[in-house]
Amino acid sequence: MLVNFYQEKDQGTPLLKCLTDFEINAKLTVLNVNAGFFAKRKLSNLGILTGVKIIKKRAAPLRGPIELIVKGSSLAIGRGLATKIVVKCEEPCTL
Amino acid sequence: MSNSISKKRKISKKAKYKDIINIALAGNANVGKSVIFNQLTGLSQTIGNWPGKTVEKMEGHLNFLGYHFNIVDLPGIYSLSTYSLEEIISRAYIVSEEVDIIINVIDATNLERNLFFTFQLLELKVPMILAINQMDIFYKRNLILNFKKLEDIFKLPVIPVVAVHGKGVHKLLEEAIELVVYKHPTSHYIQNSKKIHEQLSHDDKKVKNDLSIKKTFQFPDLSSILKCGKEVETKVYELIRNVDKFSNYFSKFNYPSRFLAIKILERDEEIEKLFKANQETSYIIDLVEKYRKELEEYHGEDISTIISSEIYTNIHKIIEEVVNVKTHVEKKLFWADKIDHLTTHSFWGYVILALILFGIYFFTFLIGDFFGGVIEDMFEALNNFIYEVYGDDNLGVKIFWEGGLGGLFGAVGGVLVYVIPFFLIIEILQDSGYLPRAAYLMDRFMHSLGVHGKTIIPMILGFGCNVPACTGCRIMETEREKKISIALTSLVPCAAVMTVVLGLVGRYVGITWVLILFVINFIVIIIVGKILNKILPGQCTELIMEMHEYRVPNYSVILKQTWVRTKEFIYKAMPIIIISGIILEILFMFRLLDPVNSLLSPITVYWLGLPAITGIFLIYGILRKELTLVLLALLANSMGTTLLGLLTPFQMIIFSLVTMLYIPCFATVVLIAKETNWKFALKITLLEIGMALLIGGIINWGFIFLTSF
């Protein structure tokens, strides 16, 4: 599924990038959530679904949680979980 | 106004009617359910700006327009799946016969996510009113909400509310009466619907007492907005058909068949149990398994994501229809954003956190010390006066004045003066919305103790009182995290401990030692956290937490909450303080304390280097920790000296340290047992006693060792 998504957008398959890889204020689109059943369900209830646009608002220092804006409200997500959220950058942005 | 009067008249012949209406407030966390609850019932459910305050459903009553309302405030939840205790409880409660009408409280500033829960509620087909809260903030953002359209879409009453100012909250009740009387939702934006209602003058049979509103309520047909995508819908339709075959069996659970079908498809454990419980229906589970597999293959997602995204798609369509932007304004950085930025800053955030934690103590110490001194002087003056009048050796005076009133003055001057400003700060912190930021900042650190950042919220509240803070540990998701959080929270120096430390060490030794004591306490917390993290099986889960915007604390709310807490403190603590003061005075007079003290003296005198008399205070302290200080002051008073005559500064430090750590107070132990089990409560207690004696002893002997040179 993921591969298809990339193939129609760009040529080739770039490396998967997760929420933690992007800089602050990056406008992102969720591609996949690779978390376990419970975390995934909770995130989906809160609106983090494939194709949803999110903004990375800030990251706490020392590998702390990441705050993002989804559907107009802020959500803090632990670093470990954030690495499981695969995203792509909406606009070309430096990495 | 005239509207309500006419309604009153209508209802005046209520004798035969159902005149008790049971209402439940449901909705996401932190949308203002408790605020509405407090506005309606005049009670004081804890409120604040962080998700998870309401951990237990709370009930209140009021009479309005001739009806008796029972109002229940449910904990905030995000969906009706059964993955957390709150969700299970809330769902069972919502469909039960105990509730007539659900008021779904929705945060206007966060419509999309709030409507997700609303959609789940709609599937339950219960009589429902939508209360759109925080409209004031919504308007401030230059947005317009089309209520007429919203009612057209949901076909249920939609009421704008500003809960903090009490605007619109009674309108909710009027609407509830309408629903009960007409058993049919009205729309006040469509004149026709109102007219139809007026014509449908309710005949007596319709609202008889024995009729459950839920059974007779005509829930509007909302299939057009609840409809999912075609693939999902066909599967759900098939499942509904199968479920309906056993409508006899399923009807007793009060769930509509569509709700059952969707939830079984979503692999909801509770619903699966229902299907498995009956031999005949268990075949459906296999069918569901097949459908789920097909759907997951088709969409390439797991089922919960598919259904959630279907719902969010529907919601998005509605939002686009009903929300309009008035004028496009350049988005300025509001003060809330600025503070938000500063308090979560990688460097300044921690500085502010440290300042706030330090500020809590500094502020309370400053205010408490001032008023404490004033009250002490007053007591001194009164004391001299009383003895001049009654003479020095009047036994009755000695018992009741020294013991009883002395206890009262000790409690007011030594404890209450610290407790009130303390509660005030805690309330401001709660109401402003700072706590989730602290959780955000501390998440990384708390992971090293085996819990995620949210634990910091009950811990900060624990500065006020450990008892409600331990209940607050329910916001933790897993049993393991709850246990660790409770253990950590019970070690946080609460207001009572703080009064002991400030009143003894702060006043007579100096603020440096107070700081050192708190540092020791926090080291102990870290050690206990590390130990538990190693011992308890399982892993630490990740933080998922909503960060709500800052808001200006509402002064009337804060003052009221502070007053309520103080009142509670007075009612609970004062009688104990006064009575134990009298008992102590009697015991002291007849020298009955000696056996107890000599029994404890190996620990108190030899190991900790304290006077033997402190043994009994430490036992009293199990009841309430501030008693140790109050009784100590009483004793000093009756012996005609000050605290300095009783304890050396060094003994004060040891005594405060032991009081700080040696045991969570009795109420906390009981609560820990209730939240977890007695075994765990006992373990924590023993661990803390061990810690206190170990550290106290080490400091005492270390000091003796150092001074012996």
Q: Return d(Cα A45, Cα A54) in angstroms, integer.
A: 15
Residue B546 lies in a domain: no
pLDDT value for A39: 82
Residues B24 and B131 in one domain: yes
Check A76 against B346: CB less than 8 A apart. Answer: no
- Report pLDDT digits (tens) over B570-614: 777 677 767 777 777 777 777 777 777 777 778 777 888 888 778
Top-ranked range on mean pLDDT: pick from A15-19, B16-20, B690-694 = B690-694
Residue B551 lies in a domain: no
Per-residue CA distances from B485 to A81, B473, B545, B581, B666 (Å): 21, 6, 16, 35, 18
- Which of B112, B304, B444 is the closest to A41 by Cβ? B304
- Which of B112, B346, B547 is the closest to A47 by Cβ? B112
Distance from CA of A70 to the nearest CA of B (A): 9
pLDDT at B6 over 50: no
pLDDT at B564 over 60: yes
Domain A15-89 class? mainly beta
pLDDT at B536 over 80: yes
Q: Quick one: closest CA in A to B296, which residue?
A: A1
Residues B361 and B269 in one domain: no
Kindly report the CATH number assigned to the domain that includes residue B270.
Answer: 1.10.287.1770
Per-residue CA distances from A85 to A28, A93, B294, B646 (Å): 11, 18, 24, 62
Check A47 against B312: CB less than 8 A apart. Answer: yes
Cα B440–chain centre separation: 19
- Report pLDDT digits (tens) over B136-166: 888 887 888 888 888 888 888 888 888 888 8
Check A40 against B302: CB less than 8 A apart. Answer: yes
Q: Which is higher by pLDDT, B423 or B517?
A: B517
Residues B96 and B112 in one domain: yes
Q: Cβ-count burial of B708 within 10 angstroms (0-12 exposed, 13-18 middle, 19+ buried)?
A: exposed
Q: Return d(Cα B542, Cα B532) in angstroms, integer.
A: 18
pLDDT at B708 over 80: no
Residue B335 lies in a domain: no
Which amino acid belongs to residue B499? T
Residues B251 and B205 in one domain: no
Q: Which is higher by pLDDT, B337 or B526?
A: B526
In this prediction, residue B402 has a pLDDT band, given cuts at 50, 70 and 90, of low
Check B113 against A47: CB less than 8 A apart. Answer: yes
Q: Quick one: closest CA in A to B341, which residue?
A: A58
Mutate to test the interface with A, among B296, B304, B434, B550 (most CBs of A within 10 A): B304
Q: Return d(Cα A25, Cα A46) in angstroms, integer.
A: 20
pLDDT value for B14: 45
Check A65 against B301: CB less than 8 A apart. Answer: no
- Which of A44, A75, A81 is the closest to B308 by Cβ? A44
pLDDT value for B138: 83
The distance in angstroms from the start CA to the end CA of chain A is 24
Q: Quick one: closest CA in B to A32, which residue?
A: B301
Kindly report the CATH number assigned to the domain that includes residue B28.
Answer: 3.40.50.300
Q: Which is higher by pLDDT, B424 or B19?
A: B424
ipTM exceeds 0.90: no
% of chain B surpassing 90 pLDDT: 2
Distance from CA of A49 to the nearest CA of B (A): 6
Tokens of residue A24, six digits: 């602050």
Tokens of residue B104, six digits: 């779904």
Q: Return d(Cα B304, Cα A42) in angstroms, integer.
A: 9
Residue length of chain A: 95
Mean pLDDT (whole number) for B388-404? 67
Distance from CA of B623 to the nearest CA of A (A): 39
Residue finishing a domain among B293, B325, B357: B325
Q: Quick one: closest CA in B to A3, which residue?
A: B300
Q: Return d(Cα B647, Cα B650) in angstroms, integer.
A: 8
Which residues from chain A sit within 8 angstroms of residue B452, using beta carbons?
Answer: 78
pLDDT at B335 over 70: yes
Residues B93 and B153 in one domain: yes
- Report pLDDT digits (tens) over B474-525: 778 788 888 899 889 888 888 778 878 888 888 888 888 888 888 888 898 9
Mutate to test the interface with A, among B137, B305, B309, B352 (most CBs of A within 10 A): B305
- Which of A50, A73, A81 is the closest to B305 by Cβ? A50
Residue B330 lies in a domain: no
Residues B232 and B215 in one domain: no
Check A49 against B309: CB less than 8 A apart. Answer: yes
pLDDT at B297 over 80: yes
Distance from CA of A32 to the nearest CA of B (A): 9
SS3 assignment, position B66 = coil
Residues B183 and B264 in one domain: no
Check A74 against B548: CB less than 8 A apart. Answer: yes
Check B542 against A77: CB less than 8 A apart. Answer: yes
Check A45 against B444: CB less than 8 A apart. Answer: no
Residues B567 and B482 in one domain: yes
In this prediction, residue B243 has a pLDDT band, given cuts at 50, 70 and 90, of confident
Mean pLDDT (whole number) for B205-221? 62
pLDDT value for B328: 59
pLDDT value for A1: 47
Check B545 against A81: CB less than 8 A apart. Answer: no
Residue B94 lies in a domain: yes
Distance from CA of A19 to the nearest CA of B (A): 14
Residues B215 and B301 in one domain: no
Q: Which is higher by pLDDT, B523 or B19?
A: B523
Q: Quick one: closest CA in B to A83, which residue?
A: B542
DSSP codes of every residue in B35-54? HHHHHHH-------SSTT--
pLDDT value for B51: 65
Which residues from chain A sit within 8 angstroms of residue B112, using beta carbons?
Answer: 47, 71-72
Domain ranges (residues) in chain A: 15-89
Residue B336 lies in a domain: no
Q: Quick one: closest CA in B to A38, which residue?
A: B83
Residues B157 and B253 in one domain: no
pLDDT at B531 over 50: yes
Check B304 against A40: CB less than 8 A apart. Answer: yes
Task: Name every residue in B having a CB less than 8 A away from some CB of A.
Answer: 78-79, 81, 83, 109-110, 112-113, 116, 300-302, 304-305, 308-309, 312, 344, 346-347, 436, 439-441, 443-444, 447, 452-453, 541-549
Mean pLDDT (whole number) for B450-477? 82
Which residues from chain B sit within 8 angstroms of residue A78, using beta carbons?
Answer: 443, 447, 452-453, 541-544
pLDDT value for B284: 83
Which residues from chain A sit within 8 angstroms of residue B338, using beta carbons?
Answer: none
Residues B261 and B390 in one domain: no
Number of domains in chain B: 3
Which residues from chain B sit within 8 angstroms of residue A39, using beta carbons?
Answer: 541-542, 544
Residues B581 and B611 in one domain: yes
> Which strands form A17-18's sheet, in the order they lie side by side?
A17-18, A85-89, A27-33, A53-59, A66-70, A73-77, B544-547
Pairing status of strand B67-73 against strand B58-64: antiparallel
Residue B550 lies in a domain: no
Which residues span the domain enclosing B451? 348-541+556-707
Q: Quick one: closest CA in A to B310, which residue?
A: A49
pLDDT value for B21: 84
CA-nearest of B475, B472, B456 to B525 is B456
